[in-house]
């Protein structure tokens, strides 16, 4: 049997026979995980944290975040607390659908206008075939086409309702392509697949009193940093990484495809022909105004969402939300992370706070009891020395004193 055809237990035995030490795992957990991926031999656990007070469009949310970096969760909470002091986040979503792409190779006798005349009929056929999607409020909405030499590029807009929609869209595209290759002048289908191009967009906006940030000078420095991020790709890419720290953590926690969102943000950040910051902070009428637009092709159903108990826990924390609301929540958290990073850079610097949180990781790894670890961390914070070597030195001193 091939490796992927073995049971998880048999795969683990092969690895262990080669001297690889594997972490113990419950048999039932392993069996469930085997249904979700390929060549499963174990699990990788990540902590689940929460944002306590995100306010979006007048609603307050607890927001789950899955990330191993404590400063990401801390920054999100810091940013959302500042937002809450200023009336919270106002957000809007454009969720017309996601795009699929079909590319055909055509013959000399092909006529594009004849193909375009068939679009209403093709849409009707697709919606009849996928009636369950239409029943849930989605369906195939539009088909457009352009011809370049002997290649025809079709773009199909699919409304996936409350799902992210990748699988359903691909099924619709395959169905349509079987009809298209029967049309006059069409030689063959080259491919029919979902595009992760930025289509479903969500914008979050805040207006902040400089007093809640530390004063007008701090607010102006944040606006200046934002301007630099718009003009300088070296700053932009780091700014955007900080934004995606928050977005990815919520996407992971809710079982959504963070990789697709990351790809789409790269396109969005480069729309002007130069890579730029996704967020924008400006001073307007004495207030610091922040705005962020992100591609949010996400869902609250479909994929593995219902099959994963850990993801269902995240939705229990969020409460009953639509895909539109979740997109606005994620973008709000991402903007909060962005503010916290810019605020840190504008004041004490970002490294001090980051290392303070990372110090906990050093302390956790110490061969010490809980009381000793608590003393070591307190001393590191008091002395502002967050290195691993200093942690070990303090532990030696504590034990020497005893």
Residues with a known catalytic role: 69, 241, 257, 354
Q: Output the six-digit token pair for 387.
A: 């290195």
Q: Is 344 helix (H, G, I), strand (E, B) or coil?
A: helix
CA–CA distance, 49 with 127 (Å, rounded to integer): 41
CA distances from 395 to 374, 381, 383, 391 (A): 10, 14, 14, 6
Task: Give residue for tokens 């932009």.
Answer: 236
Q: Helix axis angle, 323-346 relative to 216-231, nearest 10°?
A: 110
CA–CA distance, 40 with 286 (Å, rounded to integer): 56
- Which helix (H) or strand (E) covers residue 89, if one does? none
Burial class (CB in 10 A: 0-12, 13-18, 19+), 19: exposed
DSSP string covering 172-237: HHHHHHHHHTTSTTEEEEEEEEE---S-SEEEEEEEE-GGGTT-HHHHHHHHHHHHHHHH-HHHHH
CA distances from 203 to 123, 128, 296, 324, 330 (A): 30, 34, 10, 11, 10
Please give the DSSP secondary-structure letter assigned to residue 1.
Answer: -
Looking at the DSSP bridge assignments, the partners of residue 80 are: none
DSSP string covering 100-124: EEEEEEE-TT--HHHHHHTHHHHHH
């Amino acid at each position: 049997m091939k490796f992927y055809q073995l049971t998880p237990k048999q795969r683990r035995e092969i690895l262990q026979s080669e001297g690889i030490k594997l972490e113990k795992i419950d048999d039932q957990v392993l069996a469930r995980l085997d249904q979700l991926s390929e060549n499963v031999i174990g699990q990788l656990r990540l902590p689940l944290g929460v944002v306590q007070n995100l306010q979006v469009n007048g609603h307050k949310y607890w927001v789950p975040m899955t990330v191993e970096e404590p400063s990401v969760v801390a920054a999100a909470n810091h940013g959302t607390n500042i937002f809450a002091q200023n009336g919270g986040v106002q957000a809007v979503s454009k969720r017309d659908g996601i795009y699929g792409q079909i590319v055909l190779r055509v013959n000399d006798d092909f006529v594009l206008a004849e193909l375009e005349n068939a679009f209403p009929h093709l849409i009707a056929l697709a919606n009849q075939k996928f009636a369950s999607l239409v029943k849930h409020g989605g369906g195939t909405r539009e088909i457009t086409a352009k011809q370049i030499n002997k290649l025809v590029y079709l773009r199909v807009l699919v409304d996936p309702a409350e799902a992210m929609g990748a699988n359903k869209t691909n099924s619709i595209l395959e169905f349509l392509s079987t009809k298209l290759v029967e049309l006059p002048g069409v030689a063959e289908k080259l491919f029919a697949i979902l595009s992760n191009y930025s289509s479903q967009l969500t914008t979050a906006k805040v207006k902040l009193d400089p007093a809640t940030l530390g004063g007008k000078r701090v607010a102006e420095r944040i606006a200046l940093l934002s301007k630099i991020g718009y003009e300088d790709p070296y700053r932009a890419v780091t700014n955007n990484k900080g934004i995606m720290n928050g977005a990815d953590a919520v996407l992971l926690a809710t079982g959504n495809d963070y990789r697709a969102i990351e790809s789409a943000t790269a396109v969005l950040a480069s729309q002007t022909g130069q890579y730029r910051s996704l967020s924008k902070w400006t001073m307007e009428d004495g207030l610091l105004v922040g705005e962020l637009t992100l591609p949010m092709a996400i869902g609250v159903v479909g994929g593995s969402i219902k099959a994963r108990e850990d993801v269902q826990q995240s939705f229990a924390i969020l409460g009953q939300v639509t895909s539109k609301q979740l997109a606005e929540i994620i973008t709000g958290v991402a903007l909060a992370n962005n503010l916290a990073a810019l605020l840190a850079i504008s004041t004490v610097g970002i490294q001090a706070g980051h290392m303070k949180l990372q110090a906990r990781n050093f302390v956790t790894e110490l061969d010490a009891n809980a009381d000793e670890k608590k003393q070591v961390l307190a001393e590191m914070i008091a002395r502002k020395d967050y290195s691993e070597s200093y942690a070990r030195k303090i532990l030696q001193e504590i034990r020497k004193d005893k």
